[in-house]
Structure 1
Amino acid sequence: MSQLSKSGRLGFNSLSAWLTHLESLHPKDIELGLDRVKLVFNQLNLDFSASKIVLLAGTNGKGTSCHLLQQILTQHGYQVGCYNSPHIHDYRERVTLDNKWFSEQQHCDVFAQIEAARGDTPLTYFEFGTLAAITMLAQAKPDFILLEVGLGGRLDATNIVEPDLSIITTIDIDHKDWLGDTRELIAKEKAGICRPHGKTICGDFHPPVSLQQIAQSLALDISWQLVDFNFTVVEDKWHWHSKTLSFDNLPKPNMPLQNASTVLAALEKLEITIDEQKLVSCLSNYQLAGRWQKIHSQPDLFLDVAHNPESVKYLKKQLENTVTGRKKVAVLGMLKDKDIFASLELISAMFDSWFLADINQPRGAQAETLKSVLVDNLKVDAGKIQCFSSITQAKSAAIAESSSDDLVVAFGSFWVVTDLLETISQKEL
C-alpha cells in the first residue's frame, strides 16, 4: 500500500512493498547501459571524499574475494561498507557496514531518495538497488567501499563510480548473450571497470590478450597473478609472495586460493600494512554462505553456488579431496541461460545418483531439461536420476534415500542455496 511521505514524495510502508515497486519499474530484469543510471546518479550529488572505492568484477570469485577483503580490512581497524548480490535470505544482506546490515527503515528512506531523484527515468530492479546501496554507503562515509559488479563490468550499474582500485578475479565464459562467447570478448567487458592509469589487480591465471592490450593502452598500474604475485601449496599450508612482500605457512581458507591470493595483492596495492596474526585469523575462520558450506550430517550435505564451468571445476576439486569410497549424491537446479552441458560435462562422472529440481523462477530450467542433458548428451543412466518440482523436495528425497556415510552436494544456482538455507532457518533440516 503506497502513501505520501512528509516530503510529498512517493513512499511505502515496508521494504517488501518497496521491492515489489522496484520489480514493476522496468519490463526487463537486465538492461545493460549507464546512461539512465548516470542521469539519476548525477542528481544524487554524492560525496565519496572520505572513502576509497574498490570495484570487483570477474566470472567467479567476486563474492568470496569481497568478503575476505572486508574481513581483513575490518580486522585491521578500518570501517568497510560492502555491496554484494544476489542475497541468500534477506535483501538487507546486499548492503553492509562492518559486516552488519542496515535497518529496513534505512533501506526504505534511501529508496525514497532514489525514487525522487529518478523522476521519469526507468530503472531496473538491480539499477535501483545499486544506486540505493551506493547512496547508503556514501552517506555512511566508511574508510572503504567495496562494490561487487553484477554482470560484466563496463555497462554494469556499479561502474558509475570512480574506483581507487579495480579487481578482476577470473575470466571465463558465462552470460554469453550479454558479454560475448569468447574469453577475449568477456575480458573487454570486465576491463570496463578499469580507469586510465588506475590501480588494478588481475587474479586470472591466463589473462586474455585483449585484457593485456587494454592494460597497456590505459597505462594501468596493474599487478598480474603468476607474474607480479603468486602462491604455492605445501601440504595443508600455502605461501604467498609478491615482488616486495611474502607470507609463509598460511592456513587454507574455505575458498579458492586463487582468490585469496588476489585479495592479498589487492591489500598490497592499497598500501595496507598487514598484521600476519590477524591475516591468519581471517583465513582460518573464513566462511561465506553457499560456498562449500556444510549444513547437515549423517549424511553430510554441502551447499555450493557453482553454476558455470569455472565454478564447477572448483567444486569438482572439492569432491576429489573428500574421502574416497563414499557414495556421492547430487541435488541440482540450474538457470536455463547457463551453459548447462559444459558445466555438467565436467562433473557428471563424479556422482552415483542425481536428484534434479525445477527452479521456479522466470530464468529457471526444468528438471526434465537437466535430465535430458545428462541422459542424452552425457550418457548418464536414467535409472540414477529422479526429478522434482522444487529444490526442497529434491533435497528431502536425497537425504531420505542416502545412508549416513554418503556425501550429498546441492549445487547449480544461487536459488538452490537460498531455498535450502531457508529450510534451516525454518528448522526443517
Structure 2
Amino acid sequence: MQLPETLDGWLGLLEARHGQSIQLGLDRVRAVRDALDLPQTCPVFTVGGTNGKGSTCALLEAVLLAAGYRVGLYTSPHLLRYNERVRIDGRDVEDAVLVDAFAEVERARGDIPLTYFEHGTLAAWVAFCRAGLEAIILEVGLGGRLDAVNVFEPDCAIVTSVAMDHMDYLGDNREAIGFEKAGIFRAGRPAICSDPQPPASLLAHAEAIGARLWVSGRDFGFSGDQNQWAFWTAGGSRRGGLAYPSLRGMNQLLNAAAVMAACESVRDILPVPMQAIRQGFMLVELPGRFQVLPGRPSIVLDVAHNPQAAGVLNENLASMGFFPETWAVIGMLADKDVAGVVRLLRDRVDHWLVASLPGPRGLSAEKLAAILREVGVSGDIAEYVSPGGAYEVAVGRAAEGDRIVVFGSFLTVAEVMAARNAPQ
C-alpha cells in the first residue's frame, strides 16, 4: 500500500480504517510498541482523571520547561489542529514529524489493527524517542487501566479527579471509575491524587500494588488568600508566597499543588528548582479552559462537558463580577449528562443559544433545547445549526457590558475558535 505523504492523508486514512473510535485493551498496542523497539530513556509522567488533566499537563510542561529540560507532551483531543496533541519543547510538532512517525508505526504494526487514538499515541511516542527528550508527559485519553497510554511505564502517575463521565466504558459509579483511573499507578512509584475525596477503590488499588500514594489534603495540599498561596506536604516541607497560576479559576490550585507534589516525588531523578515552578505557573497557557478573551463583551471559552466541570465553571463565572446579562452558546454530545450540566448553570444564564454538533455522537439543537426545557431553565432558548452560527448571533445581540460563555464540548469551543480566527 502506498503510504500517505501528508498529515491530512494520514488522518483521513486512520479515520476511515477503523470504524470503532474507542476500543479499550492493551494487547494490540503493547505488541506494536514492542515491535517499534524504542525503549524509555527519560522520566515519564502519566496524567489521568475525569477533569483537570489538560490543565495539570500544561502546568507540568511549563514548570519542566522553565527548569531547562527538553519536554514532550502528548494530549487529546485537539481544538484546531492535530499537531496540538504532540508538543516538543513547548511547540506543536511540524507535519513532517507526524508523517514520519505515523509511517513508522504503520510499518511496525504489520497486520495488527489499531484505532485512530492508538496509532496516534504510538506515533507520539516515536516522535518523542527521536527527539532526545529529558521528560515526557502523557495524558490518558479515557479511563486509564486499558487506555493506550498505559503501555508506557510512568515514573510518576497523576490522577486529577474522579467523577461521572464515559460511564458506558468505565462503569456507572465512582468506585468503578476510580479503579479504572488507578490503573495507571505502578508498584513502588509515586502516585499523585489531586482529588481530595478519592474513591475507596483508588486507595485500595494503590495499596494493593504498593504504589507510593500521595493524596491531596492528606499527604500534600495548599492554603492561601486572595493574593498568594502556599504548598505543603505531610513530611513538613512548605513553600509559601506563591503567585496564583495564570490559568484562571480557584480549582487550578488543586492542579498546581499536584504538579508540585509530582516534582517533589521525582526530585532525585528530575530536580526542579523552586524558581522554575514559580516561572512555569506564571507563564502557562491553555486554550479553552476558562479562557477569558480580551475585549467587550466578555467572552469565556470552556470545554466543560460533565457535571463536575460544569460546577467548576459555575463557580468561576460567579467570581467574575457583575454582568447585566449572560449569553450561553452550548453544544453537547448525546452520550453526556446534559441535564446534569445544565442544572448547574441554569441560574447563571439569561439567554441560551443551543447548537447542533456533527457526527453520530452529536446532539441536535432541537433535542438539546428539549432537555433545557425539561430541566427548567429560566432564560429564553433559541436553536442554531452550528456553534459558529450561534456565537455570531450572540456577538450581535450582546451588549458591551454583557458576557458570552461558550461551553459543552471540545467541538463547540473549537468551532467558535475557528470562527473567530476566520478572515472577515
Q: Normalised by the size of structure 2, how large is the TM-score?
A: 0.95
Measure the CA separation in 2 of the matches of 1:75 and 1:347.
37
Q: 1:15 aligns with which of 7, 10, 14?
A: 7
> For residues 86-165 of structure 1, what are the structure 2 equivalents within 5 Å?
86-165=77-156
Q: Give the counterpart of 1:83 among 62, 74, 87.
A: 74
**Residues 65 and 280, structure 2, Cα contact 8 Å, conserved in 1:** no
- Cα separation, 1, equivalents of 2:130 and 2:186: 24
Q: Does 1:212 align with 2:212?
A: no
Equivalent pair of 1:48/1:141 in contact (CA under 8 Å): no
The residue that corresponds to 1:172 in the other structure is 163
Residue 324 (structure 1) shift: 2.4
Q: Which residue of 1 aligns with 2:339?
A: 341
Aligned alpha-carbon RMSD (Å): 1.4
Aligned position for 2:40: 48
Question: Where has structure 1 moved over 4 Å in runs of 4 or more?
Answer: none
Give the secondary-structure state (helix, strand or coil) at the position aligned to 2:143.
coil
Matching residue of 2:229: 238
SS at match of 1:155: coil
Establish whether residue 373 from structure 1 lines up as the match of residue 371 from structure 2: yes
**What secondary structure is seen at the aligned counterpart in 2 of 1:315?**
helix
In structure 2, give the amino acid aligned to 1:265.
Answer: A
Shift of 1:295: 2.9
Asked if 1 retains the 8 angstrom alpha-carbon contact of 2:38 and 2:129, the reply is yes
3-state DSSP of counterpart to 2:405 = strand
Match of 1:7?
Answer: none
* Stretch moving more, 362-371 or 281-290: 281-290
SS at match of 1:96: strand
Taking structure 1 as reference, are residues 144 and 322 closer, same or farther at Cα in structure 2, changes over 3 Å only? Answer: same
After TM superposition, give the deviation of residue 421 of structure 1 in Å. Answer: 1.4
Return the alpha-carbon distance in structure 2 between the equivalents of residues 69 and 215 of structure 1.
22
Cα 1:164–1:278 change in 2 (3 A) is closer
Return the alpha-carbon distance in structure 1 between the equivalents of residues 182 and 67 of structure 2: 29
Equivalent of 1:57 in 24, 48, 71 = 48
Give the drift of 1:139.
Answer: 2.2
2:395 aligned with 1:399: yes
Contact kept in structure 2, 1:202 and 1:223, CA below 8 Å: yes
Instruction: Give the Cα–Cα distance (whole angstroms) in 1 for the partners of residues 407 and 239 of structure 2.
Output: 33
Matched with 2:62 is 71
Match of 1:332 in 2: 330
Measure, in 1, the Cα distance between the counterparts of 2:399 and 2:294: 13
Q: Which amino acid aligns with 2:388?
A: T
In structure 2, the partner of 1:321 is: 319
- Partner residue in 1 for 2:243: 251
Hey, what's the Cα distance between the residues in 2 that align with 1:274 and 1:45? 30
In 2, distance between residues paired with 1:276 and 1:309?
35
What SS class does the counterpart of residue 3 from structure 2 fall into? strand
CA contact (8 A) 1:359 1:365 kept: yes
Shift of 1:296: 5.1
Matched, 1:283 2:275: no
- Comparing 317-326 with 268-277, greater Cα deviation is found at 268-277
1:350 alignment partner in structure 2: 348
**In 1: Cα distance, 2:277 partner to 2:423 partner:** 34
- The alpha-carbon deviation at position 284 of structure 1 amounts to 2.5
Matches within 5 A, 1:171-210: 171-210=162-201
- Whole-Å separation in 1 of the counterparts to 2:188 and 2:307: 33
Alignment-derived partner of residue 308 in structure 2 = 310
Q: Deviations over 1:302-331 (max 9, x none)?
A: 101111111111101111101125311111
Name the CA distance, whole Å, in 2 between partners of 1:331 and 1:88: 17
Q: Which runs of 5+ in 2 are unaligned?
A: none
Q: 1:323-361 CA deviation, whole Å, 9 max, x = no partner?
A: 125311111011111111111111111111101100112
Is contact 2:221-2:232 (8 Å) kept? Answer: yes
Instruction: Say if 1:114 and 1:128, in contact at 8 Å, map to a contact too.
Output: yes
Question: Residue 418 of structure 2 aligns with which residue?
Answer: 422
Rounded to whole Å, the distance in 2 between the matches of 1:171 and 1:115 is 34
User: Any idea what the Cα deviations from partners look like across 1:105-148, whole Å, max 9, x if unmatched?
Assistant: 12111111111111111111001101111111122231111000
- Please list the CA deviations of residues 282-305 of structure 1 after superposition, one character each: whole Å capped at 9, or x if unmatched: 223332000111235221111011
Further displaced range: 367-376 or 268-277: 268-277
Q: Distance in 2 between matches of 1:40 and 1:208?
A: 33
Percentage identity across aligned positions?
A: 38
After superposition, give the CA deviation of every residue in 1:231-283 in whole Å (9 maximum; x if it has no partner).
11212322111124322122222242111111111111111544334333322
**Match in the other structure for 1:39:** 31
Letter in 1 for 2:400: S
Kept after mapping to 2: 8 A contact 1:300/1:407? yes
TM-score by length of 1: 0.94
| Cα distance in 2 for residues equivalent to 1:302 and 1:401 | 16
Contact 1:53 / 1:162 at 8 angstroms: preserved in 2?
Answer: yes
- Specify the SS of the correspondent of 1:354: strand
CA–CA separation in structure 1 for the residues paired with 2:180 and 2:402: 42
User: Would you say the 8 A contact 1:73–1:80 is kept in 2?
Assistant: yes
| Matches of 2:315 and 2:11, distance apart in 1 | 38
Q: In structure 2, what is the equivalent of residue 299 of structure 1? A: 297
Q: Does the 8 Å CA contact 1:56/1:148 hold for their aligned counterparts?
A: yes
Distance change in 2, residues 1:273/1:122 (3 Å)? closer
Conserved 8 A contact 1:25-1:122: no
Q: What is the CA–CA distance in structure 2 between the aligned matches of 1:325 and 1:12, rounded to whole Å?
A: 51
Q: Give, in whole Å, the separation in 2 of the partners of 1:187 and 1:412.
A: 23
